[in-house]
C-alpha cells in the first residue's frame, strides 16, 4: 500500500537486514564497517531529533511539497527508534511540535503553514543551540558539585535542517560558538550534530553548505558537528543510502566522511 504522501514504506525498509539490497550493504560496510542499517539507526534512540524546516518564501510550490513528503517518511522511520518522537520547528513560523511519531501529524502541521519571509537559519540555530547549551552546562555544574548522573540524563541532540538555499543571516558564527562551548566543556564529541539537507539544486546554496561542512573545523580549530546532504527527487523511493546520510551524518563521523557525495531518492 502506498501512503498518501507518495512514499512506499516497504521501499524505506527494503534495505534493512535480511534483504537483497547489495548497494546499501556495500555503502554501509565502508563508513560504518560491518554494522547493518538497523544497527546504525539504533543510534537514534540515544538522541533527541529536531527537524528545522525552512519556511521562507522561496520554498513555495514543489519545494514545499518535496519537503513535506521527505519529512513524512523521515518521521515514520525516526519515530521507530526515538521513543519520544521527533520535534519539528520552522525558521519563521512560531509553531513547535514535539513528540511527532506519525507522518499524518507532519501533514497536518504542513497544512497549517504557508512559506513566507526570509531564511534566518543562523537565528533559529542560535535560539535552539543556546537553550540546549545552557541546559547541559548547568547540569555539568551540578554534577561537579556532587550530584550524580545529571548530564547523562540529558540526551544528545541531532538537528536536521531542511532548506533550499543560502541563509539571509550568518549561521557560521553560531555554529563556531556552539562548537567552542562544547569543546570548553569537554562534552562528548557526539553531544550535538547538525545536518543540512538541501532541497533543490541551487549551486550557490550547495557551495555555502559545503563550506559549513568542510571548512569550519580547519578554519576555526573546532570539533566537527556539521554534515550536508544534497537532496534530489528521483522516483519516490527513500534509499538506505540517503536515509543513513540524513539521519546520522551530523552525529556519526564515519557517515559524514562519506564526503560530499550527492545522495538521491
* Per-residue pLDDT reduced to its tens digit, 46-88: 999 999 999 999 999 989 998 998 888 888 888 788 878 899 9
Contact (CB, 8 A) for 177 and 128:
no
Q: Which of 29-43, 205-219, 238-252 has the lowest mean pLDDT?
A: 29-43
In this prediction, residue 4 carries a pLDDT of: 38
236 — pLDDT class (breaks 50, 70, 90): low
| Burial class for 147, CB neighbours closer than 10 Å (0-12, 13-18, 19+) | exposed
Let me know: does 32 contact 23? Beta carbons within 8 Å: no
pLDDT confidence of residue 109: 94
pLDDT (average), residues 173-178: 97
Quick count: other Cβ atoms within 10 Å of Cβ 156? 18
- Helix ranges restricted to H, the chain: 9-12, 22-32, 37-41, 62-81, 103-111, 121-144, 171-184, 203-214, 216-220, 240-248, 253-256
d(CA 82, CA 84): 5
28: pLDDT strictly greater than 60: no
- The domain ranges of the chain are 37-257
The topology (CATH level 3) of 37-257 is: Rossmann fold (3.40.50)
Helix (H, G, I), strand (E, B) or coil at 102: coil
Give pLDDT, residue 46: 92
Between 230 and 236, the higher pLDDT residue: 230
Q: Who has greater pLDDT, 80 or 265?
A: 80
pLDDT score at 178:
98
Residue 19 confidence (pLDDT) above 80: no
Amino acid at each position: 500500500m502506498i501512503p498518501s504522501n507518495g512514499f512506499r514504506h516497504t521501499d524505506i525498509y527494503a534495505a534493512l537486514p535480511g534483504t537483497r539490497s547489495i548497494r546499501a550493504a556495500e555503502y554501509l560496510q565502508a563508513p560504518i564497517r560491518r554494522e547493518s542499517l538497523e544497527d546504525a539507526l539504533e543510534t537514534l534512540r540515544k538522541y533527541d531529533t529536531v527537524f528545522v524546516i525552512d519556511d521562507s518564501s522561496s520554498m513555495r510550490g514543489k519545494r514545499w511539497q518535496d519537503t513535506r513528503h521527505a519529512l513524512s517518511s523521515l518521521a515514520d522511520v525516526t519515530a521507530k527508534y526515538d521513543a519520544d518522537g521527533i520535534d519539528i520547528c520552522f525558521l519563521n513560523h512560531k509553531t513547535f511540535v514535539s513528540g511527532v511519531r506519525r507522518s499524518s501529524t507532519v501533514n497536518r502541521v504542513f497544512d497549517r503553514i504557508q512559506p513566507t519571509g526570509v531564511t534566518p537559519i543562523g537565528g533559529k540555530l542560535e535560539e535552539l543551540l543556546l537553550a540546549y547549551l545552557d541546559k547541559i552546562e548547568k547540569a555539568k555544574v551540578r554534577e561537579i558539585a556532587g550530584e550524580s548522573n545529571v548530564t547523562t540524563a540529558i540526551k544528545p541532540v541531532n538537528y536536521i535542517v531542511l532548506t533550499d538555499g543560502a541563509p539571509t543571516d550568518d549561521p557560521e558564527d553560531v555554529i563556531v560558538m556552539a562548537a567552542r562551548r562544547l569543546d570548553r566543556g569537554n562534552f562528548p564529541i557526539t553531544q550535538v550534530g547538525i545536518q543540512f539537507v538541501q532541497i533543490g539544486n541551487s549551486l550557490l546554496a550547495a557551495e555555502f553548505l559545503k563550506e559549513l561542512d568542510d571548512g569550519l573545523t580547519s578554519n576555526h580549530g573546532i570539533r566537527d558537528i556539521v554534515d550536508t546532504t544534497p537532496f534530489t527527487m528521483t522516483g519516490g523511493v527513500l534509499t538506505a543510502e540517503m536515509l543513513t546520510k540524513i539521519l546520522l551524518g551530523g552525529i556519526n563521523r564515519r557517515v559524514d566522511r562519506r564526503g560530499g557525495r550527492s545522495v538521491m531518492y
